[in-house]
Copies of this chain bind each other. A is one copy, B any other.
């Protein structure tokens, strides 16, 4: 990439991307901050539905509409279990889903050669989108859940935005061009610093009891896992040979492109809080 001509490169950040963001962000933040408790659970459910649909469109052959529908349905159940805080049912439900999918692919496959790999891709998808995203709802169920969900969203978004700008402005060293030609080491560092900055600001105002030294690994971790999620989604898209997972949001690709940063950062925050809250209680 030509290091000079920054203005031209900044211009590549499309206007429609900014406009879409400005239209989508206020209702999401407002809904979580002001809406009743199930609002977030419902948002997660809708996001999971759209994300799963995209995943199965990417990863299963066109000829498998029944398998896709059942995959979406099974994946959604994790969000519903999370909504009612039935965490003890998660593992038995995974076993049930495994059995059901095994039998389904056994019965519907003409060629057994690909049936196990399609089965494996479906099982992976309900874990990847359905289960991992349900952690957002699980965080909402914790003490001060609303504050922590907003913390997650703002910190991870800050990471995404800082990754974009620092990548465009300073990006020289490609991270792993085989998967994602535009990602740079500088973008990743920017994401971690951006998440950290917003985590420090947010916790100063809304989480005064949080130790400043706890915010450092937390903020940096959220930035890192956000970018890692983005990266893994890129691999899945690349494997399916598409650029965007869908075209739901102008300039932002599909739902999976928007969710990817939360898929690992949400579990990270959940376990960080579980361990941290246990220590402080």
Q: Which residues of A contact B (CB under 8 A)?
A: 59, 90-92, 94-95, 98-99, 102-103, 105-106, 112-117, 119-121, 123-124, 127-128, 132, 176, 178-179, 228, 231-232, 235-236, 238-241, 264, 267, 271
Our pick among B94, B121, B240 for the contact of A127 (Cβ within 8 Å) is B94
Cα A113 to Cα B237 in complex, Å, equals 10
By the criterion CB–CB under 8 Å, are A91 and B92 in contact?
Answer: no
Cα A103 to Cα B106 in complex, Å, equals 30
Most buried by B among A112, A116, A231: A116
A235 to nearest B CB, angstroms? Answer: 5
Q: A95-B264, A178-B112 are contacts. A232–B102 as well, Cβ < 8 Å?
A: yes
A187 to nearest B CB, angstroms? Answer: 17
5 contacts between A and B (CB under 8 A): A95-B132, A99-B228, A106-B176, A106-B232, A116-B239
How many subunits of this chain does the assembly comprise? Answer: 2
Please give, as numbers and ranges, the residues of chain B lying within 8 Å of A267 by CB-CB distance.
92, 95
Q: Give the 5 A-B CB pairs with smallest separation, nearest first.
A: A120-B120, A116-B239, A120-B124, A120-B121, A117-B117
A152 to nearest B CB, angstroms? Answer: 16
Cα A113 to Cα B228 in complex, Å, equals 20
Cα A130 to Cα B91 in complex, Å, equals 14
Cα A204 to Cα B119 in complex, Å, equals 41
By the criterion CB–CB under 8 Å, are A98 and B116 in contact?
Answer: no
A-B contact sample (18 more), CB < 8 A, given A98-B128, A116-B236: A59-B116, A92-B267, A95-B132, A99-B232, A102-B235, A103-B232, A106-B176, A106-B179, A106-B232, A112-B178, A112-B179, A114-B239, A115-B235, A116-B235, A117-B120, A120-B121, A120-B124, A124-B124
